Structure 1
Amino acid sequence: MPHESKTHPAPGAPARSQRSPEELASQFEQLAQEALPASLGFSARLNMLWDLSGVVPAQAEGRVLAVLGINSCWRETEVRKWLQKDILPPPLDLRNMVSFLLAQMDEAQDVSRWEAFLIYGSPVVSSPVNASMYRQDQARREIASLIFAQLTDEYGIAPSAYDADKAFQRCLTLMHKFNIYELQDFQPGHLEPFRNYMFPVE
């Protein structure tokens, strides 16, 4: 009678579950979700990409209608959810949108990396926005101006106490490091580190 050889799992491979198919099916049912949860911060990241592309007005100046003009198949209610409610577009719509927006930029960009960043954000996916792109974006510069004003008012910092251009550039640098894409991303806990970095005691 021929000897039957037994196969063994490779070193380091996970052991096969000893649970029955019914038990596995029950666990799957318990863990299954009926709908994907909102992707927190998705709308802020998506709006930043629209800002960087420069093809539509700012959010407060008719962005939704401008986006609808680019693709008439999209519905206004859907676009508002994408831009304001952290709701993800269907995968194909997201891919086509990202491809279109990245095509407007001077430097070559990785579509898949941008998609992942929009969905998951940092630190799960490192930001594809380099410091140069961030500094040149008008929307981010306007946010930096508001943060600058808030800090000088909060701490009573006189104009004679700092170099305005240097402090402004430091603000943009720290915003980029802290992944601040909208003014609402700037939290009370950011005040102290921003003050220390923008207005160091020399």
Structure 2
Amino acid sequence: MKPPRKDLTTLAASYRACAAETAPPPLGFSARLNLLWDLAGAAPSLIEGRVLSVLAINPEWREADVRRWLQQDVLPPRQDLRNMVAFLVAELGPEHDTVRWEAFLVYGAPIVPSPVEHLLYQQDSGRRLIAARIFARITEQYGIQPSSYDADIVFQRCLKLMHQFNIYEWQDFQAGHMDPFRNVLFPAED
């Protein structure tokens, strides 16, 4: 059963009670914005003159405004923010999502997960698939029985060794890697 509908006067009073004079500052906005500028590599660090570089990219902005955006958690006007994010994300590459970055800048984590962590997870997901293939190839080639090892431990060793050998794609894993991987993943019992 639907609750009884409130009259407009009651709704207006409820609205006024909930309404804030000003929006709270977006805490951490400047740090997130500087992170995006750092990742895009489109301007030097704050210490090395980021404000002036940003002004050179768009001379229509005022220095005081840019300083507030980069140092005082003040949001730029919506269209300026959108254009800035689109520019910086284009510098990062097509795997980045402009809308996700804009939302992350304004709201931050945990409301909007970090686009950086999202991409790292996707990359890690790809590495996990490669680790599974390496794991399977070694157990098959050397006839290692599943009951003779703890799969979680071996899998973590494989990921660590892949990082040490700079194996980020399946093509990076060469025949010469088989013995070192076998010896580390499945060390002989002493």
Give TM-score scaled by structure 1 length.
0.55
- Residues 23/88 of structure 1: CA separation in 2 closer, same or farther (3 Å cut): same
Unaligned regions of 5+ residues in structure 1, if any? 1-8, 10-14, 133-165, 170-202
**How much does 1:17 deviate?**
4.9
User: Which position in structure 2 is the counterpart of 1:52?
Assistant: 39
Greater alpha carbon shift after TM alignment, 37-46 vs 17-26: 17-26
Q: Which runs of 5+ in 2 are unaligned?
A: 122-159, 164-190
Aligned position for 1:67: 54
Cα distance in 2 for residues equivalent to 1:128 and 1:91: 20
Q: Which has the higher contact order (CA 8 A, sep 6+)?
A: 1
Give the 4+ runs in structure 1 shifted more than 2 A: 15-19
User: What corresponds to 2:17 in structure 1?
Assistant: 30
% identical equivalent positions: 53
> Structure 2 vs 1, CA of residues 16 and 83 (structure 1 numbering), >3 Å: closer, same or farther?
farther
Which residues in structure 2 correspond to 1:63-102 (within 5 Å)? 63-102=50-89
Distance in 2 between residues matched to 1:39 and 1:91, nearest whole Å = 14
Residue 90 of structure 2 is aligned with which of 87, 103, 108?
103
SS where residue 83 of structure 1 aligns?
helix
Deviations 1:92-130 (CA, angstroms, capped at 9, x unpaired): 111100000011123431111111111111111111113
- Select the residue among 115, 120, 123 that pairs with 1:131: 120
TM-superposed deviation, 1:35: 2.0
Q: Which has the higher helix share?
A: 2
Aligned length in residues? 121
User: 2:80 is aligned with what amino acid?
Assistant: D
Once residues 60 and 22 of structure 2 are traced to their aligned partners in structure 1, the CA distance between those partners, rounded to angstroms, is: 23
Between the aligned partners of 2:115 and 2:85, the Cα distance in structure 1 is 13
- Cα RMSD over matched residues? 2.1
- Determine the C-alpha separation between the residues in 2 that align with 1:70 and 1:16: 55
SS at match of 1:103: helix
Q: Give the SS at the match of 2:47.
A: helix
Which residue of structure 1 lines up, in the alignment, with residue 108 of structure 2? 121
Query: Which amino acid in the other structure matches residue 45 of structure 1?
Result: R
